[in-house]
């Protein structure tokens, strides 16, 4: 069985400040890891993913996440946030042939002016 824990349900941060959204997972097999973002009144959009290779993955809008196998973590970071980054962020894990994605409970990022 696999599970995902997002340690913070709400993260308020001022514009242009750095942010880290934490995600820890548990799985008995090799995993694929994802971050999805959900803007108000919209569905989930894939932000970035780790499949294999380099443990640091980046998105086109400045977010990055690092896969840390020893700490079973996949934290999401951005060095300088914008008002438009305000959204809910979901971490998810998929393992091997599993059709399922297991999601965390989400972190609401609110960027303040």
Site for other proteins, residues 42 to 101, rule: CB under 8 A: 42-46, 49, 51, 90, 94, 96-101
Least Å distance, CB 18 to other proteins, is 26
Binding of residue 34 to other proteins (CB under 8 A) = yes
Q: Can you tell me which of 20, 26, 105, 112 binds other proteins, judged by CB under 8 A?
A: 105
Please report how close the Cβ of residue 9 comes to other proteins at its closest, in angstroms. 7
Q: Is 25 in the site for other proteins (CB under 8 A)?
A: no
Expressed in percent and rounded to 5, the helix, strand and coil fractions of the chain are 5, 55, 45
Of positions 27, 76, 87, 106, contacts other proteins by CB under 8 A:
106
What is the full DSSP assignment across 3-55?
EEE-S-SEEEEETT--EEE--EEE-SS-EEEEEEEE-TTS-EEEEEEE-SS-S
Which of 102, 83, 70 minimizes the C-alpha distance to 19?
Answer: 83
Contact range with other proteins by CB under 8 A, out of 18-26, 36-44, 54-62, 73-81:
36-44
Determine contact, residues 19/8, Cβ cutoff 8 Å: no
Q: How many chain residues bind other proteins (CB under 8 A)?
A: 26
């Amino acid at each position: 069985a696999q599970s995902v824990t997002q340690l913070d349900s709400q993260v308020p941060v001022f514009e242009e400040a750095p942010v880290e959204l934490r995600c820890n997972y548990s799985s008995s097999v090799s995993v694929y890891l994802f971050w999805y973002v959900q803007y108000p009144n919209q569905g989930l959009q894939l932000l970035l993913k780790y499949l294999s290779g380099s443990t640091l993955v980046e998105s086109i809008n400045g977010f990055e996440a690092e896969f840390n196998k020893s700490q079973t973590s996949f934290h999401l970071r951005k060095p300088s946030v914008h008002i438009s980054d305000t959204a809910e962020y979901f971490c998810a894990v998929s393992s091997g042939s599993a059709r399922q994605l297991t999601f965390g409970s989400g972190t609401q990022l609110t960027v303040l002016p």
